[in-house]
Amino acid sequence: MGESGSKQSLDENLKAPCVAACPVHTDNRRLTEYVAHGRYEDALELTLSVNPFSSVCGRICSHACEQECRRNNVEKPLSLRMLKRFIVDNTRDYRLARRGKIKKTAGTKGKKVAVVGAGPSGMTAAHDLAKDGFSVTVFERAEKPGGMLSYAIPKYRLPYDIVREDVDDILALGVELKTGFDVGKDVTFDQLKKDHDAVLIAGGLFDSRTLALPGMDADGVILAMPFLREAAEGGTPVLGKKVVVIGGGNVAVDVARTAKRLGAEEVTMICLEGEDEMPAWDWEIQETVEEGIRISNSWGPTEVRTDGGRVTGIDFKECTCVFDDTGRFNPQYDESNTCSFDADNVIVSIGQQADISCVEGSKVKIAGGTRFEYDRATLATSEPGVFASGEIAVGPGAAIEAVAEGRRAAQAIAHWLDKGDVASIPGTDMPHVGELPERVAEKVIKRDRTEVEFADPVERLTNFEVIEPCFTEKEARQEAARCMSCTLGAVVDEEKCAVCLTCVRVCPFDVAKIEKKAVMPADECQACGLCAAECPAVAIKLERWGVHEMKNRIAGKLERLGGKPDKFLLGFGCLFQAETRDALQNDPAAVKSDGIVRISVPCTARLTVSDLLAPFELGAGGVTVIACEGDSCQYPIALDRIERRVKEAGGFLEAIGVGADKIQLMKTNGPAETEWPKILSEAREKLG
């Protein structure tokens, strides 16, 4: 739980939980805003600005943002990972063109950095260092970059071309990549260090841990990482009909599902942990079960049964407890309760460890086993100028955590190269608002989380094709509209506030209150903007919306359209009605022909009376406001408020002889694509 209280939005120290939870602090609220406005390219730029592995994360991110999303307090969290995927999947042409324009900043500073390992951590560090002007060479033992992304995660979750999208952007900065290059063999670590001003060790955990059980040396016993790697490289490891996977983590899940796709008829995952303790993500377990894989919990292996040197099965005893009171791994067993599984193959997936052979013979001090001395705060090893990040340094974790560590490593190395000493690099913790209070949550209009339908479980087992479809544009926009814009709400200018109580009275969420002056607590405000539109003192600002600024916006739009069209009419529409961004655009030819200019706003109830009059000042002959009807409306009472304001604006127009009938409010719950043209065409006919 982070900070909470009555601080208002523009306080940079008080972030939305989704932003704070993301290890690279992706501003998901901006992403959803960009999607709502149809600015998919801006959304891509935003995500790439903090996460060079945005394509990858769109597919496989463990999405801590969703766990913390405050829609959890209303119904279900936003599908933020899938929105990110939608953004990268729908901006490919733009990204390709963008890549051609990326400045090769690497090498402009004249200092050289070697990165060992082309996984997400190493490549992210290379990205940041290259952007900072350093010359960076990444040395990768495998033939392809990406590390675990390319060699461990199955293709049905993450195709290699997706990894490559991100890697190619990084390389465009001038980062040099040497694949098939084994540091420790092809060059000694000391020589590498001598050739560079700093070195980052950023390897992954490619060595599988194994078990000391009788029968482990039998044919048919396989370790997880070599198995996954062979499958990832397009190989088809030969499996028997019955496969037992030992382990309950995400890698074990990948192994089991890969085994099933490779033809094993009966796959069973068996792990020490109980159902609720399994380290694999819930959604991965669910998908696994859908694919007909059995999961058997709370069993510890005792012996691999063999016949003639070949696996025939494996025996287990009950595991009664995995962790001790202090939370340490310390399994306890009931020897009297045992079971046995027949198996043609046993695949051991009980964890991974680092291969640190790259530093053998160097001065980098080993801390014991497969770890070396490493300071979590400075990312420095025992050897000056040698740093470490990613799984080799901090142990197994999600890809986005590796990216975040890569970013920290780049900061650590840049500091070293610029200042000559090590610095403590801030971690990823960030203060944030707490949960949405229940009394506010119950007033938020409920919207179902947009889900996609995965490929049929039977069908998907026949190949390694991606099983999860991307959002359609309609689905993405629908989902983005669910964002509650946490901490981007209303801010009061205390100098101007007349304490009139209007905001307190109109706030549909009972958020606004008076503390000497009006206050909209950042942890409660829903950023609907109704208070700002009603404030008689123009004392309320919104971070995402210029209150009373419509005149300038329309003037700018007219300028871009080549001037005011003949028989100019203005149509205000709610952008949440649009299923495609095309509906939000003004086609200059159409405007020229029908004179109708469209302005899309995030809820028409943000429009003030002066906003509604502004088109007339700019020469419009009429204004149509297309508001959302009934349940389709984003905010409670919004329709009532805009109806009243249209009436007030009509009163002004009547008084000055223009006529109240020149402004009209139309309501629809249909999509903008079909409804707006009908409504605006009727307005055209009516107004002449």
Partner 1 sequence: MIIADQKPVAEIKGFIEGKKKVLIAGCGTCVTVCLAGGETEVKNVASALRIAFKNDGKDVEILEDTVERQCDDEFVEPLLARVKNEGFDAVVTLACGVGCNFLSTRIGPVQVFPGVNTSFLGSNEAQGDYLELCAGCGECILHLTGGICPMARCSKQIMNGPCGGTSDGKCEISQDIDCGWYLIVKRMQELDILGQYDEIQAARDWSKGTHGGPRRLTKETAAMAAEDDAAKES
Stretch that binds partner 1, among 209-217, 307-315, 380-388, 492-500 (CB under 8 A): 492-500
Interatomic CA distance for residues 566 and 620, integer angstroms: 9
Nearer to partner 1, 324 or 549 (CB): 549
What's the min distance (Å) between Cβ of 551 and partner 1? Answer: 8
Shortest spacing between CB 522 and partner 1, in angstroms: 24
Please state the φ and ψ torsions of residue 29, each to the nearest 5 degrees.
-65, -35
Tokens of 399: 């890809």
* Contact pattern for partner 1 over residues 585 through 614, marking x by CB under 8 A: -----------------------xxx--xx
Query: Could you say which of 288, 502, 604, 664 contacts partner 1 (CB under 8 A)?
Result: 502
Q: Cα 608 to the chain's mean position, in Å?
A: 35
In this structure, the strands spanning 569-574 and 294-297 are unpaired
Question: From the CB of residue 349, how many other CB atoms can be counted at a distance below 10 Å?
Answer: 27
Residue 650 to residue 645: CA distance in whole angstroms: 8
Scanning 305-313, 412-420, 448-456, 493-501 for contacts with partner 1 by CB under 8 A, the matching segment is: 493-501
Contact status: 548 vs partner 1 (CB under 8 A): yes
Please tell me whether residue 366 binds partner 1 under the rule CB under 8 A: no
| Closest listed residue to residue 243, CA positions, set 223, 264, 224 | 264
Asked whether position 555 contacts partner 1 by CB under 8 A, the answer is no
The correct pick among 10, 96, 458, 501 for binding partner 1 (CB under 8 A) is 501
- Using CB under 8 A as the binding rule, whether residue 577 contacts partner 1 is answered as no
When the beta carbons of 421 and 617 are compared against partner 1, the nearer one is 617
Beta strands 517-519 and 513-515, pairing class = antiparallel
Closer to partner 1 at the Cβ: 216 or 537? 537
User: CA–CA separation, 62 vs 443, rounded Å?
Assistant: 30
617 sits near partner 1 (criterion: CB under 8 A): yes
Residue 655 contacts partner 1 per CB under 8 A = yes
Beta pairing, strands 299-307 & 310-323: antiparallel
E strand or H helix that includes residue 321 = strand 310-323
Residue 89's contacts (CB-CB under 8 Å, 6 or more residues apart) are: 58, 470
The C-alpha atoms of residue 210 and residue 351 are separated, in whole angstroms, by: 8
Q: How far is CA 571 from the centre of its chain?
A: 34
The distance of Cα 633 from the centroid of its chain, to the nearest Å, equals 27
Provide the H-helix boundaries in 196-347. 224-232, 250-261, 282-290
Report which residue type is found at 152.
A
Q: Cβ(38)–Cβ(476) under 8 Å?
A: no
Dist CA 360 CA 183 (whole Å) = 10
Cβ proximity to partner 1, 627 vs 663, nearer residue = 663
Measured from the CB atom, the residue of 212 and 656 that comes closer to partner 1 is 656
519 binds partner 1 per the rule CB under 8 A: no
Of the candidates 104, 363, 505, 592, which one interacts with partner 1 according to CB under 8 A?
505
Should residue 652 be labelled a site residue for partner 1 when binding is judged by CB under 8 A? yes
Residue that the structure tokens 């062979």 belong to: 230
Of the pair 589, 656, the CB lying nearest partner 1 is at 656
With CB under 8 A as the contact rule, which of the stretches 206-214, 351-359, 451-459, 500-508 interacts with partner 1?
Answer: 500-508
Q: Which stretch binds partner 1 (CB under 8 A): 15-23, 245-253, 299-307, 531-539?
A: 531-539
Minimum CB distance to partner 1 smaller for 239 or for 614: 614
Residue 534 beta carbon to partner 1: minimum distance, rounded to whole angstroms: 8
Q: Give per-residue burial for 565-596: e unless 16+ CB within 10 Å, then b.
A: beebbbbbbbbbbbbebebbebeeeebeebbb
Q: Would you say 181 or 652 has its CB closer to partner 1? A: 652
Q: Is 514 near partner 1 (CB under 8 A)?
A: no
Residue 452 near partner 1 by CB under 8 A:
no
- The secondary structure of residue 153, as a DSSP letter, is S
Residue 527 CB, shortest distance to partner 1, in Å, is 20
Contact pick of 50, 445, 561, 658 for partner 1 (by CB under 8 A): 658
**Residue from the set 326, 656, 685, 688 that interacts with partner 1 by CB under 8 A:** 656
State residue 335 phi and psi, 5-degree precision: -65, -20
> Binding-site residue total for partner 1 (CB under 8 A)?
29
Residue from 416, 616, 635, 676 binding partner 1 (CB under 8 A): 616
Which span (242-250, 326-334, 535-543, 563-571) binds partner 1, by CB under 8 A?
535-543
Structure tokens at 171: 């390389």
Q: In the structure encoding, which two tokens stand for residue 373, read together?
A: 């001395």
CB atoms within 10 A of CB 325: 7
Residue 501 Cβ, how far from partner 1 at the closest point, in Å? Answer: 7
Q: Applying CB under 8 A, which residues contact partner 1?
A: 496, 498-502, 505-506, 535-538, 548, 608-610, 613-614, 616-617, 619, 648-649, 652-653, 655-658
